[in-house]
Structure 1
Amino acid sequence: MKERIKSIILFVLVANSLFLTWFLIFYSPNNEKESPSEYVPRLTFGQELDVKQMIRPKQIIYHLGENSHSLSNTDSEDFKQLEADFDHWSFYEITSISEPIDWTKMIEVEQGIEIVFPFSLPNSVLSSLYKISTTMYLDQINRLWLVLDQNEKVIVYFISDQKDKVYQAETSISSKKLSKYIASGVNQPRYSYYWAFNKERNINTKPIFYLPNEGLEMKKVRKFITPVSIEDYIQLLFIDPSMVRKVYELGNKESVLYTDGSRSMQFFPNKRVFSYFQPVTDNRKQLDWNNDLAASIRFVNQHGGWVGQYQLDDLGFAEATSQPYFTFQQYVGGYPLLTNKYLIGEINIQLVDGIVSKVEQSMTLLDQDLDTKYIKTSSGPELLKKLEQHKIDAKVITSIELGYQVEKKNDVLELFPHWRVRYNQNDEITIPAYEGGM
């Protein structure tokens, strides 16, 4: 009797197995689907970019001597020409400076150029930009300062405001070449320098910000929006879109969750923002900023591309996961789109062991200009007066940046010139950069 029951159970199991096999063969969608490494998305919105196109200074300051200064942003021809020469620069005989530098003299008297990055560069990222011959660990560098000394020799200072460290180096850049760089700043609008609030209480470095002596010509822009749907991004980000299901939708439609059983996407319809998650096992591999950055850029290249001009704006470790993250910011006409609640012009990526685990971005993508209008921004002194009205003293300002505040109106994006002012420790305010501004 027992043997007969066992035979019946075995028969049922075998039959069930055969049925499931038959079902998978004939009814599984996209049976011959590609593996993640072979998957090629079917949609493309923008261009492909590489690492060097992403790691860019945010501004170059020309120190012309006699306390005269000018500045160029990322869209100017002088900026692009100087940036193109980075590949030919080399630095050697690098030493750490222990004696205090006379920064006032450096700024007001010495001629040179100051290259300012929007974030502190890890050693490996810095080494990917320039040819650096040293065993010294140059970490968290955010400024390079090239000056002509009394003997007409070029001296370079690698500055880390975060670490309060300064390194001096010799360079392959000739005095003639540096003089040519400096000369390109002569016809640029003049700026004045201001000592920034030294929240790190630095001894060796002196953070600085610069403001124009007179108003600058800048565009106010209205742009069309590239129409993109949540279905488009599901097709881009999931290997087999037909397996994706809507798991839940809140009654007020603030959030919708999609998943294929492994990866997931949380969509916020009101803001048209999504967060994409992909499970990755953390094997605690050694951190490699260069590889992680390349993986982040490659991920966007392979999943729709970059709509417009982006550059790396920040990197670090996410508070919640302690995993490395990268923030990419879009620029229009050489000015950044300032942080906004819709995340327009911003892409945030987290990685685990060199594999993208989270992507957060807006589905509102900038298209062609609808119209533009030239305006004149407020000058530095005018801005400081406005800040006084907001009870913000110049002594507590850490940085000031000119950029675009974004407002969405139906199917049009309006870009208004604004000043972004950071002060005290972590406070921030944006102020219209022209009369009658938003």
Structure 2
Amino acid sequence: MMEKIKSLILTLLVFFSLFQSYLLVYSKPDFNPVNQDEYIDTRLNGSQENVVNMIFPKHMVLHFGDDKHTMVYPNFKFYNDIYEKISQRTFESFRSVTLSPVEKVKMREYQGLELEFMDGIPVQWLENKMQVNSESINRNVSINKIWIYVTENQEIRTLFFDESTSNVYEATKVDLKVEDIQEFVGYGEFQPSYHTNNGIYYVPDESLQMVRLTMSYSRFQKDQLVASLFVDPNLSRTVVHSEGREIITDGAIVLELDDNQNWMSYYDPETPVESSSDLMDDLLTAIKFVNQHGGWRRTHLIRSISNEDEEQFFRFQQYVKPAPNVQALPILPSETLKLGYVDITMQNGVVTDYDRSLINLSNTIVQRSTYQLQGGEGLEQLIRKYEQDFDIVNIFPAYYPIFKEGYIDLIPYWAYELSDGTFGLLLQ
């Protein structure tokens, strides 16, 4: 009797299987198009990026000799030409060296160039962009500056500075000739002249001609962010909504939107599983996360790297190019508009915090106009006023963003960098 029941069940299963196959093959599909009014585009548009394009000097100092100098910035033709050629040269056989204060002063009197990075760049990262063989030094050494110059004996000397430890490493085998350095320095022959009073930063002798921009923009929408950042958007709900501030959560992940500052903060408090990851792995993961959740508008430079209590923090500084071969400037936040950088915090290789502007500058420049930044004595007086309270290590031009009738104005200003990595604007 049991065998007959089993045979009957098997027969029924075979029958239903054949019936379902028939329906799949011969029945007409029932197409029910999505109501376009209810459809939400969950893509967060923005270009994809990789680490190679995010490692470049914040500026270069060209030394003519006799304590005469000039500076070039990203996207400027001479900057691009020099960096491309430097990136194709080899730097090998490093040794630790000690420089006396007298030597450091004398170096500025020789023909040469400095490549200064926004923050300490691990030497292994430079290997992704330059032909650096760091086998002879610790691969975790962070490089703030590369200084190449021609000595009195017409020899090339190349120094890599780790300012966090005050260590200096010399590449004793370099694929550069004296003629190369002379060519690089010659690029700056007709550029504005700069001087230094303290050997730390340089200021122009005269005013500089810059470019002021008016740009259109788009904005990330709440539904896009929720759909992209929450595992199940249907479980999310708004818990606070007042005075331009909105907090959305699914009970774990928290997304805060600040309409006043046009800023978003994402926080995932789930404790990541203990795992090992090195600095480069964390950087690649951070970049990939942004690629998948908003992307990048304009060029970004790795500006800040810090590691505290198993947390890894990265800040990516946004640059705007006014036109081809015109120097690109970083955007610094204003009092009314947080714009200009993307922050990522990680634990054990997992992104826990993601902060960025809701504003996306478009590729359309509505208006360009010339803008003059003061130099010389007027700039030095302004700097001295700030130096009464701050330890300034760098002076540079930057864009100050302002809302203007549906557009954003980017106005050139002189900015400062402090010894602790803080940025600010030199306001009159």
Superimposed CA distance per residue, residues 161-181 of structure 1 (whole angstroms, 9 cap, x where no aligned partner): 221111111212233323222
* Residue 183, structure 1, aligned to residue 207, structure 2: no
Q: How many residue pairs end up in the alignment?
A: 376
Superimposed CA distance per residue, residues 274-300 of structure 1 (whole angstroms, 9 cap, x where no aligned partner): 111234534454451111111111111
1:226 partner amino acid = S
The match for 2:312 is 324
TM-score, normalised relative to structure 2: 0.80
| Structure-2 change in CA distance of 1:363 and 1:395 (3 Å) | closer
Instruction: Provide the rounded CA distance (Å) in 1 between the counterparts of 2:386 and 2:106.
Output: 31
SS of equivalent to 2:374 = coil
2:95 partner amino acid = T
SS of equivalent to 2:201 = strand
The match for 2:271 is 281
Shift of residue 377, structure 1, vs aligned partner:
0.9
The match for 1:30 is none
| Structure-2 change in CA distance of 1:264 and 1:382 (3 Å) | same
* Residue 255, structure 1, aligned to residue 245, structure 2: yes
Instruction: Provide the rounded CA distance (Å) in 1 between the counterparts of 2:72 and 2:116.
Output: 11
| Structure-2 change in CA distance of 1:376 and 1:394 (3 Å) | farther
The match for 1:210 is 202
The match for 2:215 is 223
Q: How does 1:267-278 map to 2 (within 5 A)?
A: 267-278=257-268
Structure 1 stretches of 5 or more lacking a match? 1-40, 197-207, 434-438
Task: Say whether the 8 Å CA contact 1:121–1:140 is kept in structure 2.
Answer: yes
| Structure-2 change in CA distance of 1:290 and 1:85 (3 Å) | farther
Q: How does 1:235-314 map to 2 (within 5 A)?
A: 235-246=227-238, 248-250=239-241, 252-314=242-304
Instruction: Provide the rounded CA distance (Å) in 2 between the counterparts of 1:329 and 1:85.
Output: 24
Residue among 162, 171, 176 paired with 1:173: 176
Task: Say whether the 8 Å CA contact 1:417–1:432 is kept in structure 2.
Answer: no
Shift of residue 89, structure 1, vs aligned partner:
2.5
Instruction: Provide the rounded CA distance (Å) in 1 between the counterparts of 2:83 and 2:45.
Output: 27
The match for 1:336 is 330
Matched-pair identity in %: 23
2:152 partner amino acid = Q
Instruction: Provide the rounded CA distance (Å) in 1 between the counterparts of 2:253 and 2:86.
Output: 40
TM-score, normalised relative to structure 1: 0.79
Structure 2 stretches of 5 or more lacking a match? 1-40, 322-327
Task: Say whether the 8 Å CA contact 2:42–2:223 is kept in structure 1.
Answer: no
* Residue 402, structure 1, aligned to residue 386, structure 2: no
2:409 partner amino acid = E
Instruction: Provide the rounded CA distance (Å) in 1 between the counterparts of 2:98 and 2:87.
Output: 29
Point out the more displaced range, 126-135 or 350-359: 126-135
* Residue 351, structure 1, aligned to residue 346, structure 2: yes
Instruction: Provide the rounded CA distance (Å) in 2 between the counterparts of 1:322 and 1:340.
Output: 32
1:249 partner amino acid = V
SS of equivalent to 1:306 = coil
Superimposed CA distance per residue, residues 326-358 of structure 1 (whole angstroms, 9 cap, x where no aligned partner): 111111231110134533121100112222221
Instruction: Provide the rounded CA distance (Å) in 1 between the counterparts of 2:150 and 2:123.
Output: 25
Superimposed CA distance per residue, residues 337-391 of structure 1 (whole angstroms, 9 cap, x where no aligned partner): 0134533121100112222221001101212222222021101421112344x36
Task: Say whether the 8 Å CA contact 1:112–1:147 is kept in structure 2.
Answer: yes
The match for 1:136 is 137
Shift of residue 116, structure 1, vs aligned partner:
0.3
Task: Say whether the 8 Å CA contact 2:310–2:348 is kept in structure 1.
Answer: no
Instruction: Provide the rounded CA distance (Å) in 2 between the counterparts of 1:361 and 1:395.
Output: 27
Shift of residue 226, structure 1, vs aligned partner:
1.1
1:259 partner amino acid = T
Instruction: Provide the rounded CA distance (Å) in 1 between the counterparts of 2:374 and 2:53.
Output: 31
Task: Say whether the 8 Å CA contact 1:256–1:268 is kept in structure 2.
Answer: yes
Instruction: Provide the rounded CA distance (Å) in 2 between the counterparts of 1:314 and 1:74.
Output: 18
Superimposed CA distance per residue, residues 128-174 of structure 1 (whole angstroms, 9 cap, x where no aligned partner): 33322433226122000011223433210011222111111121223
1:403 partner amino acid = A
| Structure-2 change in CA distance of 1:394 and 1:229 (3 Å) | closer
